[in-house]
Amino acid sequence: MSEISGLTALELRDALAAGELSAREVGGHFLGRIEALNPSLGSFITVTADRAMDEARRADEEFAAKREPLRALHGMPLAYKDLLDVAGVPTSYGTAALPAQAAEKDNALVATLSGAGAISLGKTQVPEFGLSCHSENDIAPPARNPLNPALSAGGSSGGEAAAVAAGMLPFGPGNDGGGSVRIPASACGLIGLKPGLGTIPSDVLDGTLDAFGAPRLTVSGPLARNALDAALLMDAMIDPSQGTFLDTLRSGGIDSLRGLRIGVSTDSPFASAYRISLSPEAHAALNKAIETLNRRAHHVEEAEIYYDTMYPETFSTVWTSGLAAARLPPGREEKLGTLARSFRERATAREVAVSLAAAARLTEIAADFRTQWGRYDVVLTPAMAHTPPEIGYYTSQDADTDYMRQCQYTPFTSMVNVSGLPAVTVPTLTTADGLSMGVQIIGRAGSEIQLLALAAQLSEM
């Protein structure tokens, strides 16, 4: 039992499928890990232990009945960010301004993964409304980094990432609107894949544009300890009846990948508004990746990329416009945190024409990103600009300083959401203090498998 959390997600899936482990053994083990570690790491807001063990019992009964075929994620434990509805479980959205009410039905992604046989152990910590690159709010303890609990686990999927990195979960689904999978993956030493818009069917049930006509930013993606585990979860998120990602990687897709034209860039579209400075650790992580990719017979060169100076203002307008429509109960506005309150006030005061114009401009900027990056097979950037900051680094500041610091820590992530293209962050360096730093690889449309193959190559350094 003590070795279960040391298995990869793929090894665990195979052990469950072979009957070497029961779903109840696995669920009980990970619930025990949560009980032991969550008080110091703040990964989970809600733990649904009884419900999980009930589902595990049913999974074992299903296995004993030899129902065929066995579901793709039979008995696999995971959890969901507290932004996604799980029927019968409260959803807090990380805010004190809304009552945490039990959801009536599952979010579409939750329904897909539950249908694939996954068993939810609970809901994980997020920032208020998922707005920030940390996972701190006013309703529960912050999500702390397992590599150093004094530091942030990143966000908005920070609770999820911390749980995976600490062995409280074998892998986990996150969602990413401005870096929310890639940021905590980088902070906690995991692989984090942001698929292209539309790759996960449940992401685009409401279309590919937001209410103002801007590109829809948020997509779902896996947080995992290695590329094969990420591929396993991706397959389930897309279509549990298929194994395209995992089969491709395991049948030579990693070693056969070579000769890509890779453009390296340390430029950020936020540089026109803020001072963007890379730490020595960020440079070292990037250089290690370049060395490995060169050894893998790829062609690495400096990329010439020029970003629209209107990006910071345009993105901020689009990012915050939806808050004007948030329905808050009477008298609850004052319970919003500093950043969310400021963003909502600005969005409410903004004329609709301004939001519409920003959406149109961002659509043009997105096309320019795709054109410039498209000169290369993939584009390589640092993952983050520096090592994870301490808890409270953002939330102790006024709203403008908070947001500026977030952009300075994550200067390369939101632009990929705007483009609609896929990207993956991969750890490539362990610092002298035991922290993780890595790189981001931006791909062309439909290149998610290629990105995971590159992630696997970089992980074999």
pLDDT score of 347:
96
Residues 454 and 438: beta-carbon distance below 8 Å? no
Phi, psi of 437 (to 5 degrees): -130, 155
pLDDT score of 182:
98
Residue of 114, 132, 152, 156 marked active site: 156
Residues 74 and 59: beta-carbon distance below 8 Å? yes
Q: Quick one: tokens of 449?
A: 């498998």
pLDDT score of 241:
87
Distance, in Å, from the CA atom of 248 to the CA atom of 282, rounded to the nearest integer, reads: 31
Longest CA span, the chain? 62
Q: How big is the chain by its Cα radius of gyration, in Å?
A: 21
Q: Quick one: tokens of 249?
A: 């990687």
CATH number at residue 68: 3.90.1300.10
Distance, in Å, from the CA atom of 301 to the CA atom of 336, rounded to the nearest integer, reads: 46
Residue of 43, 92, 132, 180 marked active site: 180
Distance, in Å, from the CA atom of 356 to the CA atom of 187, rounded to the nearest integer, reads: 34
pLDDT score of 1:
47
Name the domain count of the chain. 1
Distance, in Å, from the CA atom of 388 to the CA atom of 407, rounded to the nearest integer, reads: 13
Residue of 43, 81, 194, 419 marked active site: 81
Phi, psi of 301 (to 5 degrees): -145, 160
Residues 16 and 23: beta-carbon distance below 8 Å? yes
The whole domain housing 229 covers: 4-459
What are the residues whose beta carbons fall under 8 Å from the beta carbon of 98, sequence distance 6 or more?
Answer: 92, 328, 329, 332
Residues 461 and 288: beta-carbon distance below 8 Å? yes
Say how many residues make up the chain.
461
Cα dihedral angle (209, 215, 217, 221), rounded to 10 degrees?
80
Sign of CA pseudo-dihedral 300, 191, 127, 213? positive
Task: Please indicate whether residue 436 is annotated as part of the active site.
Answer: no
| DSSP β-bridge partners for residue 210 | none
Task: Please indicate whether residue 5 is annotated as part of the active site.
Answer: no
Per-residue pLDDT of the chain (461 residues; tens, 9 = 90+): 458 999 999 999 999 999 999 999 999 999 999 999 999 999 999 999 999 999 999 999 999 998 678 999 999 999 999 999 999 999 999 999 999 899 999 999 999 999 999 999 999 999 999 999 999 999 999 999 999 999 999 999 999 999 999 999 999 999 999 999 999 999 999 999 999 999 999 999 999 999 999 999 999 999 999 999 999 999 999 999 888 999 999 999 999 999 999 999 999 999 999 999 999 999 999 999 999 999 999 999 999 999 999 999 999 999 999 999 888 999 899 999 999 999 999 999 999 999 999 999 999 999 999 999 999 999 999 999 999 999 999 999 999 999 999 999 999 999 999 999 999 999 999 999 999 999 999 999 999 999 999 999 999 85
Helical pair 338-349 and 311-321, crossing angle rounded to 10 deg:
90
Q: How far is CA 12 from CA 19, 48, 167, 343, in A?
A: 11, 21, 13, 43
Phi-psi map region of 212: left, alpha, beta (phi>0 left; psi -120 to 50 alpha): alpha
Task: Please indicate whether residue 156 is annotated as part of the active site.
Answer: yes
What are the residues whose beta carbons fall under 8 Å from the beta carbon of 332, sequence distance 6 or more?
Answer: 96, 97, 98
pLDDT score of 2:
54
pLDDT score of 69:
85
